[in-house]
Chain A
Amino acid sequence: MTKTVFFAILLSGIATWLIRVLPFILVKRFTLPAWLIDFLSYVPVAILTAIYVESLLTYHAGRWPSVNLPNLLASGPTFLAAIVSKNLLVIVIVGIASMAVLRALGWG
């Protein structure tokens, strides 16, 4: 491992750690104002939607994003599994199997 790789890992690790931990330290020290608590109450659904939709799109600099078709197609059975089972393990297994089938068919 070169010195550059090591320091890139170490400094990126420290930066990521601070991003993760500072909010915990600040919230422990200070009480959050009501508007911020209201704001944060929307974070779960908003961020989960954003992370999911990001996986359906492919970024191209300066153009509109294109659709990631395999991920979109595998989402169908996965959503169905979510509605029917309401069980995370079942949902994940159906998702993996759907994508495996798509790839075996050469559509993935």
Chain B
Amino acid sequence: MDDELTWRSGFKDVLPTIFGYIGIGLAFGIIAKAGHFSVLAAVLMSLIVYAGSAQFVMVSMLAAGSPIGAIVLSTALINARMALMSMTVAPLLQEESMLQNITAGTLLTDETFALTMNKLNHTGHTLHSRWLHAANIAAYLVWAGATLAGAMLGQLIPNPADLGLDFAVVAMFIGLLYLQIITDRTHPRRRQVGLAVFVAALMVVLMRFMPGNLAILAATVIGCLGGMAVKHRD
């Protein structure tokens, strides 16, 4: 990763995350098809909802005949953490037009958010929408393409899990977390490591009381408040 914020650089930087989108996209297509959803429904879900874990929950809720209101509410709760990511990226594009901001927000994902945070460590904390658009659009197309492939060829291709492809996303988050901690100079390294340990412990405790997706949101909010408190004490 370098300090270039061009379209080309955006496509290049997003490349390592593509495996994750392919692995999970294929798995989603296969599961949606196995749950008696049409290819069209699976692809539409990936194009319109565009949110990994929420889509898996939607498929199981629809198959179980849950009411639409409950499905929409669950999706919103699972994706609520996106608001925190959007709010973190938004100040970096404040000088750009509203259209660029809305476009960037529309396609922002966990992965392209994390990639953006890593990129900032190489660009002196500046961002340009074209770099983010390139990463976002590549991710979006690969996600939709992998869903289509999974839904159409589900029976023909080997199970992505056998190839270890389902772990691609986890591996990517390990990489982005590690690189973030070693390169992010916003706070002293000691405090970043302390924050990570604190949030990890919070996750274990919170998941005693709530599903993982809500725990992610709660642990992040409590973790950030903890970071603020420690900074004031230092």
Contacts and interface: CB of A to CB of B under 8 A. Distances in A.
B72 A11 contact: yes
B171 A47 contact: no
Contacts of A95: 164, 167-168, 170-172, 174-175
B83 A17 contact: no
A57 B182 CA distance: 25
B76 A27 contact: no
B15 interface: yes
A74 B90 contact: no
Contacts of B168: 92, 95-96
Interface string A24-37: 11111000100111
B202 to A, nearest CB: 8
Contact of A48 (B41, B49, B177): B177
A94 B171 contact: yes
A49 B228 contact: no
A69 interface: no
A41 B50 CA distance: 26
Q: How large is the interface on B (under 10, 10 to 19, 20 to 34, 35 or more residues)?
A: 35 or more
B216 A47 contact: yes
Contact of B178 (A27, A79, A94, A108): A79
Interface in B195-234: 195-196, 199-200, 202-204, 207-208, 210-213, 215-216, 219-220, 223-225, 227-228, 231
A108 B80 CA distance: 31
Nearest to B13: A88
Given A9-B41, A15-B76, A48-B114, A23 B90 contact: yes
B49 A91 contact: no
B182 A86 contact: yes
B225 to A, nearest CB: 7
B196 A45 contact: yes
Main secondary structure of the interface of B (DSSP, over half): helix
Contacts of A94: 171
Contacts of B102: 21, 24-25
A81 to B, nearest CB: 8
Main secondary structure of the interface of A (DSSP, over half): helix
Nearest to B224: A42
B162 A23 contact: no
B75 A12 contact: yes
Nearest to A12: B75
Interface of B: 1, 15-17, 19-20, 23, 37-38, 40-41, 44-45, 48-51, 54, 58, 62, 68, 71-72, 75-76, 79-91, 93-94, 98, 101-102, 104-106, 108, 110, 113-114, 117-118, 161-182, 184, 186-187, 192, 195-196, 199-200, 202-204, 207-208, 210-213, 215-216, 219-220, 223-225, 227-228, 231
20 contacts: A4-B62, A8-B62, A9-B49, A12-B71, A15-B76, A19-B79, A21-B102, A24-B89, A41-B227, A42-B187, A42-B228, A47-B220, A52-B177, A53-B203, A59-B210, A64-B204, A86-B179, A96-B19, A96-B163, A98-B164
